[in-house]
């Protein structure tokens, strides 16, 4: 099918097929998921109506890390279209962090100094029910093909931008050849120094950390930061740990961000174990986000005093470098807002 390869490419086809096949074979049917987990749909309060708006999607590899016959499994809860999503709640909206107002050109968002975020694709390997972009109008913002050109022109014209963040959707849904083409264009812009990739794909399909991915990371002229999204220690099984070690051994920095989610990871023990397992995999914790108040995700919300109490306990048990920064995203602020949880940090501006 593909006859010509760009100069950077040296992509081994076999490993590509493996993750791409897994991506294609993901579960999108509630009954198939229930059957695999030996559960009845009526034990789970599933909503087929919400699944029509934001469909179920989860790779088998991730389902394989769920506990059978456990309707409260913390991995399952992250993907299950739940009846509670139908409830409207005050303060929960469709654009909770002001993404639309921050678009500089279609698919290019800038909120903070020096870094801009490129929505490289609208697709994801997993559909997380708490996703803050679950209502995002990708059809208007998706910068694939011609619109990438507009975004790249915009970036080239603003020398204050030093870092590009690939986001989406999940940028690693793109194959390594497509990403390399984009990386080549970015590194041709003199003021771009860093490339950051925010992704959950390798977490749910560890084979995404393929030879092709490691290859373009090794060869890129930019400094590369990969921020993976692991929310629960059980996501970090041996297969993922080995792949993450390979990634952290490459020429890049690997960080993790999580979302604090009720009934998934809202206790100190779980978060301590998460940080320790991340470290075993060569990954340092970066942010722990309070939930963005997106419509349909209210049942995941952990209030701020509870979050602070949990983090105080976490910080009392771990070395400082394993304590993620507790943050909230507030539209209009110049960066993520730190949430103070230590008694001696009360002097932070509120």
The footprint of ligand SF4 (CB under 6 A) covers 124, 126-128, 131, 133, 168-170, 200
Could you tell me where the DSSP H helices lie in 260-341? 268-280, 304-317
200 vs 243 by CB, closer to ligand SF4: 200
Q: How many residues does the chain have?
A: 350
Sheet holding 284-289, edge to edge: 103-105, 108-112, 115-119, 163-167, 194-199, 223-228, 253-259, 284-289, 325-328, 337-338
173 vs 318 by CB, closer to ligand SF4: 173
Does residue 109 interact with ligand PLP by CB under 6 A? yes
104 vs 245 by CB, closer to ligand PLP: 104
Q: Name the binder of 165 from ligand SF4, ligand PLP, none, CB < 5-8 A by kind.
A: ligand PLP
**Residue showing tokens 């390594």:** 176
Among 54, 92, 112, 138, binds ligand PLP (CB under 6 A): 112
Site mask for ligand PLP (CB under 6 A), range 210-249, x = bound? ----------------------------------------
Element (H, E) at 163: strand 163-167
Contacts for 186-192 with beta carbons within 8 Å, 24 or more apart? 186/152, 186/155, 186/222, 187/220, 187/221, 187/222, 189/152, 189/155, 189/156, 190/159, 191/159, 191/160, 191/161, 191/162, 192/155, 192/161, 192/162, 192/163, 192/164, 192/222
Does residue 166 interact with ligand PLP by CB under 6 A? no
Q: Are 108 and 155 in contact (CB under 8 A)?
A: yes
- All residues at 6 or more sequence positions from 32 whose CB lies less than 8 Å from its CB, including other chains: none
Q: Name the binder of 289 from ligand PLP, ligand SF4, none, CB < 5-8 A by kind.
A: none
Locate 21 and state its tokens. 């096949």
Closest distance between ligand SF4 and the C-beta of residue 67, in Å? 21
Point out which span in 34-42, 46-54, 112-120, 214-222 binds ligand PLP (CB under 6 A): 112-120
Does residue 194 interact with ligand PLP by CB under 6 A? no
Query: Which residues, numbered 299-338, are part of the site for ligand PLP (CB under 6 A)?
Result: 335-336
Closest distance between ligand SF4 and the C-beta of residue 36, in Å? 20
- Residues in contact with ligand PLP by CB under 6 A are 102, 109, 111-112, 115, 117, 165, 335-336
């Amino acid at each position: 099918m593909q006859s010509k390869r760009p100069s950077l490419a040296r992509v081994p086809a076999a490993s590509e097929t493996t993750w791409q096949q897994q991506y294609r074979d993901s579960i999108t049917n509630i009954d198939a998921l229930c059957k695999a987990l030996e559960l009845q749909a009526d034990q789970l309060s599933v909503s087929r109506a919400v699944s029509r708006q934001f469909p179920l999607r989860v790779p088998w590899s991730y389902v394989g890390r769920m506990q059978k016959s456990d309707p409260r499994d913390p991995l399952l809860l992250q993907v299950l279209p739940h009846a509670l999503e139908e409830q409207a709640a005050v303060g929960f909206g469709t654009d909770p962090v002001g993404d639309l107002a921050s678009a500089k050109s279609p698919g290019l968002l800038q909120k903070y100094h020096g870094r801009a975020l490129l929505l490289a694709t609208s697709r994801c390997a997993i559909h997380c029910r708490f996703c803050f972009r679950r209502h995002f109008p990708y059809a208007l913002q998706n910068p694939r093909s011609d619109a990438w050109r507009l975004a790249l022109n915009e970036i080239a014209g603003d020398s204050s931008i030093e870092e590009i963040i690939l986001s989406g959707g999940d940028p690693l849904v793109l194959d390594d050849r497509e990403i390399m083409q984009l990386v080549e264009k970015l590194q041709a812009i003199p003021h771009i120094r860093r490339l950051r990739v925010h992704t959950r794909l390798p977490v749910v399909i560890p084979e995404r950390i393929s030879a092709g991915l490691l290859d373009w990371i090794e060869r890129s002229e930019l400094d590369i930061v990969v921020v993976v999204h692991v929310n629960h220690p059980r996501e970090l099984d041996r297969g993922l740990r080995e792949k993450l070690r390979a990634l952290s051994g490459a020429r890049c920095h690997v960080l993790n961000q999580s979302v604090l989610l009720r009934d998934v990871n809202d206790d100190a023990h779980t978060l301590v174990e998460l940080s320790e397992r991340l470290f075993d995999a060569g990954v340092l914790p970066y942010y722990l986000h309070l939930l963005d108040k997106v419509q349909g995700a209210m049942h995941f919300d952990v209030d701020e005093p509870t979050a602070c109490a949990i983090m105080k306990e976490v910080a009392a048990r771990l070395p400082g470098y394993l304590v993620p920064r507790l943050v909230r995203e507030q539209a209009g602020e110049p960066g993520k807002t730190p949430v103070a949880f230590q008694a001696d940090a009360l002097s932070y501006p509120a």
